[in-house]
């Protein structure tokens, strides 16, 4: 399973980066192959200063070795080894009318002293963070997520949509990071779902990513915007940074397992503002966005 999924994310990285380069029309992804001293490595691809994408990364990694003490305590195990692989992406467009997007699909195995698998699971999801809210874009993104889920189980979309709203939430701000999508974790074998079935589901979601995001980018990338709208985008990007550094489990896992800092922090946008006690004008589009972030909607 680990070899099959690692091959899948390598292929997916190629198709996603090619698709994004085609939309941008100017910038191309620069590639970094890196190795982790304790075992494994990855392939980081970053795009910067493009026509459409100000900064973005589409990274894959496959790492293994002894589970660090901090993570052994977290999982309640002793002397465990692990293997983890996944694809993680974040795209920060230049135009504030185009939403930021994040996605991640991952697989994890844990082993006993003899090398037997004692636990394994999939996780992942994809979510959208707009700066200006176009309802039709939100509906398109969520409809694509639901279509991928419904091919496997009609209960998946409402369950994983709710988990996404709950997970990508800045509790210290009492607002969502964005308008959500899907979030699933610890997807383990059961009577209903074998690991192969979970693989089929996770790869279906991965394959739906470009379909969920690209039409939105195409529709919004050439819209005009003002300096004030760009300022608002940068203020909202600050909230994105806050979530990633305070709450995000993937970031924290990477930092605790001696992960590659440049790859972990590629999700941070290049231009951000923190304005003291900032509140949008009453009745404005900016305020409408905040209201939705504080009260997640059912888009489908």
Which residue ranges make up each domain of the chain? 2-294
DSSP state letters, the chain: -HHHHHHHHHHHHHHHHHHHHHHHSS---EEEEEE-TTSEEEEEEEEES-SSEEEEEEEEEEEEEEPPHHHHHHHT-SS-EEEEEEEEEEEEESSTTSPEEEEEEEEEEEE-TT--EEEEEEEEEEEEE-SS--HHHHHHHHHHHHHHHHTT-TTHHHHHHHHHHHHSEETTTTEESSSEEEEEEEE---SS--HHHHHHHHHHHHHTHHHHHHHHHHHHTT----HHHHHHHHHHHHHHHHHHHHT-HHHHHHHHTT--HHHHGGGS-SS----TT--PPTTSHHHHHHHHHHS-----
| Residue 136 to residue 290: CA distance in whole angstroms | 17
Res 70 pLDDT > 80: no
pLDDT tens digit sequence for 72-120: 887 878 888 999 999 999 999 999 999 999 999 999 999 988 889 999 9
- Mean pLDDT on 168-191: 97
Superfamily of chain region 2-294:
Coproporphyrinogen III oxidase, aerobic (3.40.1500.10)
pLDDT level of residue 28 (50, 70, 90 thresholds): very high
pLDDT level of residue 266 (50, 70, 90 thresholds): confident
Res 60 pLDDT > 90: yes
The pTM score is 0.95
From 92, 102, 140, 142, active-site residue: 102
Res 259 pLDDT > 80: no
Query: CA angle, 218 as apex, 213 and 219 as ends, to 5°?
Result: 100
The answer to whether residue 247 is catalytic is: no
């Amino acid at each position: 399973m680990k070899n099959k999924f690692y091959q899948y994310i390598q292929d997916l990285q190629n198709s996603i980066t090619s698709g994004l380069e085609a939309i941008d029309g100017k910038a191309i992804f620069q590639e970094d192959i890196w190795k982790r001293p304790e075992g494994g490595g990855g392939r980081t691809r970053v795009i910067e200063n493009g026509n459409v994408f100000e900064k973005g990364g589409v990274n894959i990694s496959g790492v293994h070795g002894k589970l660090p003490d901090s993570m052994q305590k977290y999982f309640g195990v002793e002397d465990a080894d692990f293997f983890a692989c996944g694809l993680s992406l974040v795209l920060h467009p230049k135009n504030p009318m185009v939403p930021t997007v994040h996605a991640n699909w991952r697989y994890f195995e844990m082993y006993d002293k003899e090398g037997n698998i004692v636990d394994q699971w999939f996780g992942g999801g994809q979510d959208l963070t707009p700066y200006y809210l176009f309802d039709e874009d939100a509906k398109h993104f969520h409809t694509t997520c639901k279509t991928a889920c419904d091919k496997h189980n009609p209960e998946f979309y409402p369950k994983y949509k709710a988990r996404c709203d709950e997970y990508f939430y800045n509790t210290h701000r009492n607002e969502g990071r964005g308008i959500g999508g899907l979030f699933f974790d610890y997807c383990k074998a059961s009577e209903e779902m074998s690991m192969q079935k979970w693989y089929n589901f996770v790869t279906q979601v991965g394959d739906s990513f470009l379909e969920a995001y690209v039409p939105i980018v195409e529709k919004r990338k050439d819209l005009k915007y003002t300096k004030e709208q760009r300022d608002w985008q940068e203020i909202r990007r600050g909230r994105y940074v806050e979530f990633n550094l305070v709450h995000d489990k993937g970031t924290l896992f990477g930092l605790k397992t001696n992960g590659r800092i440049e790859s972990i922090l590629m999700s941070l946008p290049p231009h951000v503002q923190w304005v003291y006690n900032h509140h949008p004008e009453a009745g404005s589009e900016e305020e409408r966005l905040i209201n939705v972030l504080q009260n997640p909607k059912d888009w489908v």
